């Protein structure tokens, strides 16, 4: 090997993968052993080429516009609705690593359009967004899909909004800053799955 490494030659340790993706070591090992995340063994450690990781991650978070029938692999489809790009990206990466099929939108109106056009198993929505807020989104969604589980994530929690969300039948109510394990546990609970 030559000492001149390109970014294509950068390998991440398991610890660096955990930090990069914000997921549990169990999730990373499960994906490696299932052959879903390209990795090479180096002694007792696994190493993941950064380029391969980013390629795989991009394939997991690509929007699927063809509807629920497109997914034959049994993955649950999750719609993330948040006006903050950083939050959308973090939630998208986290849920993709946990093998959910993820789409993201930045507002409630776009969310309604996606939900009416495509089949989703779960919605994770911000409470405060410009235009249509999270509570209004819940009320609208419940009119045409009353059984769809919705999790609210908010940095501006109040007792009245929490009570209203519960009365509207939310599947979860999380306050920012929210931890990755909290998100995964809430998603699993909302979908009736065992927690990872």
The percentage of the chain sitting over the pLDDT mark of 70, rounded to a whole number, equals: 78
Q: Considering the domain 7-56, what is its CATH architecture?
A: Orthogonal Bundle (1.10)
102-119 mean pLDDT: 92
Give the pTM. 0.66
| The pLDDT of residue 68 | 40
Taking only the tens place, the pLDDT of each residue in 131-169 is 899 999 999 999 999 999 999 998 877 788 888 888 898
Structural domain spans, the chain: 7-56, 62-190
Cα 64 vs. chain centroid, distance in angstroms? 14
Tell me how crowded residue 20 is: count the other CB atoms within 10 A of its CB: 15
Measured between its terminal Cα atoms, the distance across the chain in Å is 39
Per-residue confidence band for 21, with pLDDT thresholds at 50, 70 and 90: low
Give me the CATH topology for the region 62-190.
Answer: Rossmann fold (3.40.50)
> Per-residue pLDDT tens for 112-141?
999 988 889 999 999 999 889 999 999 999
- Provide the Cα torsion 61, 64, 65, 66; round to 10°: 180
Task: Decide whether 7-56 matches 62-190 in CATH topology.
Answer: no
The two three-digit tokens of residue 44, written as one number: 């007792």
Q: Between 143 and 69, name the one with better pLDDT.
A: 143
Average pLDDT over residues 29-35: 72
């Amino acid at each position: 090997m030559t000492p001149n490494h390109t970014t294509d030659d950068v390998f991440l340790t398991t610890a660096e993968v955990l930090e990069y993706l914000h997921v549990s070591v169990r999730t990373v090992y499960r994906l490696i052993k299932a052959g879903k995340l390209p990795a090479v063994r180096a002694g007792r450690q696994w190493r993941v080429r950064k380029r391969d990781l980013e390629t795989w991650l991009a394939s997991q978070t690509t929007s699927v516009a063809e509807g629920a029938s497109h997914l034959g692999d049994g993955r649950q489809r999750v719609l993330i609705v948040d006006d903050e790009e950083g939050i959308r990206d973090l939630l998208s990466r986290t849920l993709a690593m946990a093998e959910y099929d993820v789409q993201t939108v930045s507002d409630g109106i776009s969310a309604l359009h996606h939900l009416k056009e495509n089949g989703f198993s779960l919605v994770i929505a911000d409470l405060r967004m410009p235009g249509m807020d999270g509570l209004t989104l819940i009320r609208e969604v419940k009119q045409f899909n009353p059984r769809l589980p919705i999790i609210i994530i908010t940095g501006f929690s109040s007792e009245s909004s929490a009570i209203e969300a519960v009365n509207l039948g939310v599947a979860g109510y999380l306050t920012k800053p929210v931890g990755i394990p909290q998100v995964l546990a809430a998603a699993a609970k909302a979908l009736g799955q065992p927690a990872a």
